[in-house]
Structure 1
Amino acid sequence: MPDRPLPITRRLSRRTLLGGLIPALSLAACSRRDETAEPLLDRFSVGEGAYRPVGTLQDIPPSTGPFTARFAPHFGMFEGLAGPDFVDQLKFAHDQGFRAWEDNSMAVRPLADQIRLGNAMRELGIEMGVFVLGDRQGWQSPTLTSGDAQARRNFMAQVDNAIGVAERTGATRMTVLPGLATPGLRRQYQMAHIVDALREACDRIAPHGLTMVVEPINNVDFPGVFLNRTSDGFLISKAVDRPECKLLFDIYHQQIMDGNIIRDMDACWSEIAYFQLGDHPGRNKPHTGETNYANVLQHVWKKGYRGVLGMEHGVTSIDPAAEEDLILTYRRLDGLLKSI
């Protein structure tokens, strides 16, 4: 028996049907306006998230006197103007108005240097920001991710050492880098190993009033690193669930991995205890790359953060003119925050 022709309605293509259906549905939706719906323009109003318009950084009058924000330089940043001696650099920074400092390498400096620098910061009234717990190159080998007992013992020894570093320098926060991912081990297991180790570390530092800040770092500059996204750092901090373990939000690393700086910042705000700055590309001072630091820092300020803002970036060149330009950049940013 020959096939019978399909009814005309069944021969209509899906495209033809959708072509007629979608406009019809759209018209129906438009005719039934939801009186309770929020007007579209209201959903995009500026509200309290509005920022002071900034044409260029040069449009912002620089602040004077001590900085309002606790911007924290590091050793070597003012070597051209202050000379190579670290205490002289601290004194110069204080004269320029800085009231905070950070030093990733403090834990591996000689004991005498830690005491000398700590005493200088106390005398000058400079707050010590973060130092990296243990060797700064610790990210290069599997550590907390592996669950290896010896690796964990090594980490706890670094924690115990960091307690002494903090006492000598007046620091209250230390940066934790969990290390490289462990090949062949599922990510969830590695995350669990990190959480377990950090909980034990919290028990050790709690009596001393210290806080570890877990830092996600990008896997472009640091290939193979396990913790490379802020969202995972937030998850670890929430899972540890101790006041001694919080999140370091590094804007440079965030921009490389995900962008979306302000929205991700808001999503993990409850766990953030420290910020670090650096523009991308180049990891130099704010407004040398693609990040709108004027808006980002206004957002941080409006949300109420008044802690240390680590200047974890380089200088365009080691000479007095470049260093003076760096100071002026932060003076302008400080002037912006002071006006809020």
Structure 2
Amino acid sequence: MKKFTIKDIAKIAGVHPSTVSRSLNNNPVIPEKTRKKIQDIAKKLNFEFNSSARNLSLNKTDNIGLIISNGFDNDSTMPFVNIILEKTRKILSKNSLDTIVEFSKNIYTNESNIQKMVASKKVDGFLILDSNFSKKEFNLLKKNKIPFEIMHFKPNFEDSENYGYTATDHFEGGLMATNFLIENGFTNIFTITAIQNDTSFNEFTLRTAGYRYALSKNQIEINENNILYSNISYEDTYKIIKNNIHIFKKGDAIFAQTDIIAFAVINAFRNHNIDVPNDISVVGYDDIDMARYFYPALTTIMQPLDELIEKSCYNLVKKIKNVTFKDNYKILIKPKLIIRDSVLIKH
């Protein structure tokens, strides 16, 4: 009796062998009607499906590498990273894909973990959450025809404008936060952002640009002393407020460019008997879970992470299925203003 193969089933069904293997694996990426048709053919042929053999023959691992910027390796950014990890794993699991998480660089040798994973053939593709993703790594993935999706960050390397990514519109987020404060009558608005030479977090440059544009558009003079730079940790921000309390007393509002920064600002003010929002108003950025439970509940800019992650994962899955993308596509997702109690509404 002839022993049938995945290629035989693919020929009978008129589909690619990868569609057969995914159908036999009940992968929801394949439409149910197609899956059932292929499974019925396999059953009639008494085909025994071996997923390990399938992966070897198709050079597939069913693993996705999630590459996280080393800049996220601190307590202040972990709430944000944990949300990314949880949501990414759920979406990829629905597509029968597992997630291998690595920082972009080995913390001891500084070697690229992307290069390491490519060399060891551990993954079928990459989700890259790192603005320092290099041209060298980009070319390596292109050369080896490994699908990848750049998410959350706009890449930093030279001529990166010619390459695609999926991200929140951080300029719009900074503009939205500052406009909301201006609309409520605030004019002496501070912002706390990331240290300028830290290219790990280029979304802060965009948020600050949005802040500047809102002031300029409303004919409010931009005071460079109102832009303060932190390593975006709670501790550093608290120290900045404490050491400059006399300066902040002259302001009427603060755009804190993460929720963690906003929590540090509010607590530092509280310890100096400055009331939020009655004495000074505060807007955060991210809308992490704690924002709604903090006192006062934080007005903030919500990053639409569900949409961001869904689109990034969906794009990567399509690329793995050999769907062609233009190199220079850009998907910018608009953030949303969440109004709570940390801003004094004046009208």
User: Which has the greater radius of gyration?
Assistant: 1
Larger relative contact order (CA 8 Å, sep ≥ 6)? 1
1 or 2, which has the higher strand percentage? 2
- Do these two structures clear the TM 0.5 threshold for a shared fold by scoring above it? no
TM-score range, shorter chain: under 0.3
TM-score normalized by the length of structure 1: 0.25
